[in-house]
Chains A and B, each alone.
Chain A
Amino acid sequence: MTQLDSSLRRPGPDGPAGGGPRPTQSSRSGQPVKTRRRGSRLIRWLPYLLLLPAVVFELAVHVLPIIVGVAMSFFTITQFQIRKWWEAPFAGFDNFTVVLDFSGPAGAGLLRSFVVTVVYTVIVMAASWTIAVAASVFLQRSFPGRNLMRALFLIPYALPAYAGIIVWRFILQQQNGMLNHVLVDQLGVFADKPYWLLGDNSLVALIVVNVWKYWPFAFLIITAGMQSIPTELYEAAALDGAGAWRRFRSVTLPLLSPVNRTLLLILFLWTFNDFSTPYILFGRSAPPAADLISIHIYNRSFETWNFGLGSAMSVLLVVFLLVCTAGFAAFTRWRDRRA
């Protein structure tokens, strides 16, 4: 507070912006606030000026490139025209027809990648959320070492993504990896050491690594959400004879739903668009079984240098994500109204 006091005691206005804009609170709290006319034009523009840097950066790095990306999906681009792609032949909806022709190679590849991504996303989200809820519930009661355990659980999320994934790559090696050492040498689950980073097992590997990487975030958010649930509610439920499971179903889950809503949406966008895990785990060529959509588009784009085709795939991906997000929002609103 001393810092604050000294700043308040500092004398005199000094900028041309002296005098306040009408603060939003003054009307709400009804406290009399001296407003001055001086510099009122600047004041009107001040909120916009403050937003300006954020808007400029967002426009430059997100909005403009997104518009360009959508435009590119209507051109047939070769590696010779990349720098001046707008001079490439206009293709109309050709790229989209090629990409959506599921009997052709491009369409079949995209469809396969999409299915893999959906399966992977559903499993990663369900597993991450379940583990996070279990950990949060079981850490509600205080015991020695609880804070240590909480901190430990958060480390995979805090770790720079590539550090965590590189360790998994080391662990999942076929010959000398830790996992096969445990499964084959120590437990004898398999007769031969399976490959985890090749073939169909790579999807399992991808799911396990991403659950490891993403569940701590869900844990962080759900733990915070649970802490805001008043303990009296649990006590009242217990007095009514509700057991642990019943208390969880009737108190914890319903009160977590606003937190869950945002959490699940964020988890969905993260896992569905994930690029770094397959990119680091498998190297440049992700096995077909773990060919996530982002990796698929990235590789197709740089393989053929036809960024028009890649952009068309990206645009379809965005449409899908928008539909999912809108559908999710509509669903939660509908459920709110029913409740």
Chain B
Amino acid sequence: MRESVAFRITRIAVLAIITLFVAAPLYVLVTSAFKPLKDVQGSFTWWPTHLTVQPFIDIWSTVPLARYFANSVIVSLSATVLSVVVAILAAYSVSRFTFRGSGSFKATVLSTQMFPAILFLIPLYLLFVLVDRASGLQLAGSQLGLVITYLTFSLPFSIWMLVGYFETIPRELDEAARVDGASSLRTLFQVVVPAATPGIVAVAIYAFMVAWGEILFASVLTTDESRTLAVGLREYASQVNVYWNEIMAASVVVSVPIVIAFLLLQRFLVAGFTSGAVK
């Protein structure tokens, strides 16, 4: 297929505009992180007067960023691990067994996605308080409560995607293991899980992203002690005298690992999404 000149010009122009739209804020994000304070407090400049890494050092002392960071890492990692394990079990059940209620399970799990978070935010908080009173467990305001909440946010999509992956793994492998005498759970963890590793890693990245970026529930379910990055940085940006260069530096620090992981694994995420979408 040959490309006409008009098509070629349109193609280049459109891609250039989109690139500008996407890249300009990213450019501002990265360059501002390397600017001295007077550069970000005065009028905007495209280029720093002199490059400095000072913001990246200062963030650890001016904001209690280290604590927020630790909180976010703990909450996100725990939620990710739990979510992935729970999703693997559920997806295995749905993909490998025929039983009554499997269809309604899938439908129910997906439909919880439709309910706006604002509807169950306050009831959930009140329930946590009730449970705390009754059991002394400390869910409201603690990391544990946030972990439980976040793991359910990524669960529906994770189950959906993993069912898609597990369907692509030939059942002959399961059966071979079973003939060898392996139990169902052994088959799952020694045959199905290893064969679905790329999909599982992609789902884990997704679960991590959900927890790492969430702000609404974190704003209600955390105290000063258990603040996560999302809430902490937002509060910091709302102050009167904002150290924008440090905020940008902090944003770069929290973004780089997750962006790299996402770019490496997005292909598997998409495969899971579309396999679910087409069915």
A contact set with B: CB distance below 8 Å: 3-4, 7-15, 17-21, 23-26, 29, 31, 33-34, 43, 46-48, 50-51, 53-55, 57-58, 60-66, 68-69, 72, 82-83, 85, 131, 134-135, 138-139, 141, 149, 151-164, 166-171, 175-178, 180-181, 185, 212, 216, 220-221, 223-225, 228, 234-235, 238, 243-244, 258-259, 261-263, 269, 272-273, 275-276, 279-280, 283-284, 293-294, 297-298, 301, 307, 310-311, 314-315, 317-318, 321-322, 325
Contact = CB atoms under 8 A, between A and B. Distances in A.
B262 A158 contact: yes
Contacts of B233: 162-163, 166
B25 A66 contact: no
Grouping DSSP codes into helix (H, G, I), strand (E, B) and loop, the B interface class, with mixed when no group exceeds half, is helix
A87 to B, nearest CB: 13
Contacts of A72: 122-123
Interface of B: 1, 3-4, 7, 10-11, 14-15, 18-19, 21-26, 28-29, 32, 40-44, 85-87, 89-90, 92-94, 96-99, 101-102, 105, 108-109, 112-124, 126-127, 129, 148-149, 151-152, 155-156, 159, 171-187, 190-191, 194-195, 209, 212-216, 219, 229-230, 233-234, 237-238, 244, 247-248, 251-252, 254-255, 258-259, 262-263, 266, 269-271, 273-274, 276-278
Nearest to B279: A258
Nearest to A173: B44
Contacts of B155: 54, 57-58
A138 B15 contact: yes
Nearest to A277: B215
Given A65-B127, A152-B22, 18 more contacts: A10-B182, A18-B183, A23-B96, A29-B172, A33-B178, A34-B178, A43-B184, A51-B89, A54-B159, A58-B152, A68-B120, A83-B126, A153-B22, A162-B233, A176-B43, A224-B271, A259-B278, A317-B116
A-B pairs, 3 with minimum CB distance:
A65-B120, A25-B171, A50-B93
Nearest to A322: B114
A322 to B, nearest CB: 7
B211 to A, nearest CB: 10
B254 A212 contact: no
A29 B171 CA distance: 10
B255 A7 contact: no
Nearest to B133: A83
B200 to A, nearest CB: 14
Contacts of A48: 93, 99, 101
Nearest to B29: A167
B44 A176 contact: yes
B274 A64 contact: no
Contacts of A47: 93, 97, 99, 102
Contact of A166 (B87, B182, B247): B247
Nearest to B102: A47
A158 B270 CA distance: 13
Given A50-B89, A171-B28, A162 B230 contact: yes
B120 A276 contact: no
Contacts of A317: 116, 118-119
B23 A62 contact: no
Given A46-B184, A163-B29, A139 B15 contact: yes
Given A24-B97, A60-B148, A279 B123 contact: no
Contacts of B93: 46-48, 50-51
